[in-house]
């Protein structure tokens, strides 16, 4: 068992990604878009994904790392949620 994914959450493959024609990477978690990566950061991410494309768990780990700790209260509120 990996020390990084002790609860095997990444084995369920919750993250998905889509690369647009312009090179932007859109990352979703359980079907909800959570992050858009563009520019040089997107280029580096696409290159790293292609390096490990044979390992779905490694791709999930890359996507988890780039999204950060998004489920722990640091989500941005939408326009309706702002006061």
pLDDT tens per residue across span 25-62: 999 998 999 999 999 999 999 999 999 999 888 998 89
The reply to whether 82 falls in a domain is no
| pLDDT confidence bin for 1, thresholds 50/70/90 | very low
Asked if residue 72 belongs to a domain, the reply is: no
pLDDT at 68: 84
The domain total for the chain is 1
77 within domain boundaries: no
Containing structural domain, residue 44: 10-67
> Is residue 73 in a domain?
no
Residue 34 backbone dihedrals phi, psi, to 5 degrees: -120, -20
- Would 79 be classed as within a structural domain? no
Find the largest Cα–Cα distance for the chain.
Answer: 46
Residue 9, φ and ψ in degrees, nearest 5: -75, -35
Is a pLDDT exceeding 50 seen at residue 4? yes
Task: Return the pLDDT at 19.
Answer: 95
Q: Within a domain: residue 46?
A: yes
- Output the average pLDDT for the chain: 82
- Using CA atoms, how far residue 31 sits from 7, 17, 18, 43, in Å, is 21, 10, 12, 23
Percent of the chain with pLDDT over 70: 71
Residue 81 lies in a domain: no
What band does 13 get if pLDDT is binned at 50, 70 and 90? confident
Establish if 38 belongs to a structural domain. yes
């Amino acid at each position: 068992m990996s020390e990084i994914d002790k609860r095997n959450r990444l084995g369920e493959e919750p993250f998905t990604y889509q690369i647009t024609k312009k090179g932007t990477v859109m990352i979703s978690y359980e079907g909800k878009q959570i992050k858009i990566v563009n520019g040089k950061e997107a280029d580096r991410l696409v290159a790293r994904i292609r390096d490990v494309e044979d390992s779905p768990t490694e791709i999930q780990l890359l996507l988890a790392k780039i999204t950060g700790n998004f489920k722990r209260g640091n989500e941005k509120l939408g326009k309706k949620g702002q006061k």
